[in-house]
Structure 1
Amino acid sequence: MRIDAHQHFWKYHPKRHEWIDESMKSIRRDFLPTDLKPIIDHVGIDGCVAVQAEESLKETDFLLDLAEENDWIQAVVGWVDIGSSDLSKTIDQYSHFTKLKGFREILQAKDPKYMLREEFIKGLQLLHAKGYTYDILVYPHHLSAVLELVKKCEGHSFVIDHLAKPYIKDGEWKEWKKAMKPIAERDFMYAKISGLITEADWKNWNSEQILPYIEIALELFGPDRLMFGSDWPVCLVAGEYETVWRLIEDFTSTLSPHEKDQIMGLTAMKFYKIPQA
């Protein structure tokens, strides 16, 4: 099964989606399952993981409603306040939603110390105890804090979104790789090959600029802990869905059939506990 492990849906609202600034005005509109389904059908993707793009429980409810209406939305990564004293009660209210597999906060917008707070770590431990995964959305300057975090949460199910957004536009990879290496050495850490073209020059990027980062990710994590994600519709500021898919499709076609199958779907199915159709 082919899985897009990272994409978003939204009904655009200027206030709720204020992160979509003027430079990204082309995606200031609604993006719903009816927009995505013909695209993934065309490239042979069987299902997707819908990931939160707004920090609210209404966002989690919105994605779960879409997943209930569309069986090809295989999993939902929702939002919850990880450090809340009411976390256990809130999580229990969602326990009957079988497609809710994990949670995410917009850590990239927060100080690295935010994720090292005692209440945040206790919240992650609660999520783990209840069987949920956690998507880590950060920039490279957060990675030292990520390492501290995962040392305190050994054995949890974590995935680093967008390979921690390396500075592709600047061509920097040495410090990023150095920071990622000790994180990747932990076999419970996964990573998404997603969101990379938007870290390059949106108008002038090419595959030769992106591929070294994917190769490093494969070296560090191996195919069994890497998963393809489109980051649609955010990717549209730098390239069409099919452009992103083709980049990873071509790269994985140089690997063994097993390695390709892992990256293009099986790793996501294992991580998010997506049942075989």
Structure 2
Amino acid sequence: MKKIDAHQHFWNYDVDKHGWINEEMKKLRRDFMPPDLKKLLDNEKVEGCVAVQADQSEEETRFLLDLQSKYSFIKGVVGWLDIAADSFPKKLEHYSRNPALKGLRHIVQDEPDDRFLLRPNFLKGIQMLDDYGLTYDILIYERQLPATIEFVNHFPGQSFVLDHIGKPKIKAKVIDPWEEGARELAQHDNIYCKISGLVTEADWHNWTAEDLKPYLDIIFDAFGPERLMFGSDWPVCTLAAEYSEVIAGVQEYIKVYSEEEQAMVMGGNTQKFYDL
């Protein structure tokens, strides 16, 4: 079984660029680079990863693509481009020439407009991705699920993946209305979902596997093991758990599934979705 981590980040810490790393997250205020992650992957027999943007700039996309060219275990990159900009078609044509670029992401969760995804210029840009064989990672908070459902209805042929299972309120132990939105999204067979980011939506210092189980039960029932992929969200996950704890939690949960289904979740679906 080939294990691939579908979601992690690299950065050279910069106080301005990474302003989202607040005082509560101060342990993230340092560099996190490929050699740091490689040790963790090797310990867990994970063969590779997908590097996902953490900063909204073309510089970030170039940074990740450059790292991928130097470290073979980075199997692909999800970068950032200004999808709504007039310059997007030209930028898309340029960056898509690099086969390591597998998709794009926008940090929609930080947009004050909960219907950001439905802005006409953004929709126009997303419409172009499939022509270049690029995926789109959906990063939202639970409250943005209704707009996300409208958004994906526009693009039945586009490959989407929901990051961090849509960020339910795990710490508060609230299921609804997240469950309703997640199940509605899952009805679209062009949408996958990353089992990632759960520990940081829980109580960082006191979470248990039982806290996560109701959300995993729902997401596995909604998407099925054939459209779910393990992602560590390293190094952000370290706010609440070590890499080894995150991967062990997922592997323990999926023990009830067949070996073939476990292999899908731990790497097969990621390879298929991102064409690795």
Give the aligned partner of residue 197 of structure 1.
Answer: 199
Give the aligned partner of residue 101 of structure 1.
Answer: 102
One of 233, 238, 247 as aligned partner of 1:245:
247
- 1:113-192 equivalences under 5 Å are 113-192=115-194
- What is the CA deviation profile of residues 61-109 of structure 1, one whole-angstrom value per residue up to 9, with x for unaligned ones? 0000100000110010000111011111001111321110000010001
Q: Give 3-state SS (helix, strand or coil) of 1:167's partner.
A: coil
- What is the CA deviation profile of residues 225-244 of structure 1, one whole-angstrom value per residue up to 9, with x for unaligned ones? 10000000000110101010
Q: Any conservation in 2 of the 1:4–1:265 contact (CA below 8 Å)?
A: yes
Between the aligned partners of 1:261 and 1:221, the Cα distance in structure 2 is 16
TM-score by length of 2: 0.98
- What is the CA deviation profile of residues 9-36 of structure 1, one whole-angstrom value per residue up to 9, with x for unaligned ones? 0000000000000000011000000100
Q: Any conservation in 2 of the 1:121–1:153 contact (CA below 8 Å)?
A: no
Deviation, 1:112, is: 1.8
Deviation, 1:211, is: 1.6
Deviation, 1:247, is: 0.3
Deviation, 1:155, is: 1.7
TM-score by length of 1: 0.98
Between the aligned partners of 2:185 and 2:172, the Cα distance in structure 1 is 23
Deviation, 1:249, is: 1.1
Between the aligned partners of 2:234 and 2:4, the Cα distance in structure 1 is 13
Deviation, 1:57, is: 0.2
Give the aligned partner of residue 42 of structure 1.
Answer: 43
Q: Give 3-state SS (helix, strand or coil) of 1:174's partner.
A: coil
Identity %: 47
Q: Any conservation in 2 of the 1:67–1:75 contact (CA below 8 Å)?
A: yes
Give the aligned partner of residue 14 of structure 2.
Answer: 13
Deviation, 1:254, is: 2.0
Q: Runs of at least 4 residues of structure 1 off by over 4 A?
A: none
Q: Any conservation in 1 of the 2:129–2:158 contact (CA below 8 Å)?
A: no
Between the aligned partners of 1:27 and 1:183, the Cα distance in structure 2 is 32
Give the aligned partner of residue 61 of structure 1.
Answer: 62
The answer to whether the aligner puts 1:217 opposite 2:244 as a matched pair is no
Between the aligned partners of 1:98 and 1:135, the Cα distance in structure 2 is 17
Gaps of 5+ in 1: none
Between the aligned partners of 1:221 and 1:129, the Cα distance in structure 2 is 25
Between the aligned partners of 2:191 and 2:94, the Cα distance in structure 1 is 28
The answer to whether the aligner puts 1:25 opposite 2:26 as a matched pair is yes
- What is the CA deviation profile of residues 91-146 of structure 1, one whole-angstrom value per residue up to 9, with x for unaligned ones? 11113211100000100011222110111111001112211000000001000000
Between the aligned partners of 1:119 and 1:96, the Cα distance in structure 2 is 23
Between the aligned partners of 2:29 and 2:98, the Cα distance in structure 1 is 30
Q: Any conservation in 2 of the 1:228–1:248 contact (CA below 8 Å)?
A: yes
Give the aligned partner of residue 264 of structure 2.
Answer: 262
Task: Name the Cα RMSD after superposition.
Answer: 0.7
Q: Give 3-state SS (helix, strand or coil) of 1:170's partner.
A: coil
Between the aligned partners of 1:258 and 1:174, the Cα distance in structure 2 is 31
AA paired with 1:217? Answer: I
**Worse-matched range after superposition: 249-258 or 129-138:** 249-258
Deviation, 1:175, is: 1.5
Gaps of 5+ in 2: none
AA paired with 2:219? Answer: A
Give the aligned partner of residue 89 of structure 1.
Answer: 90
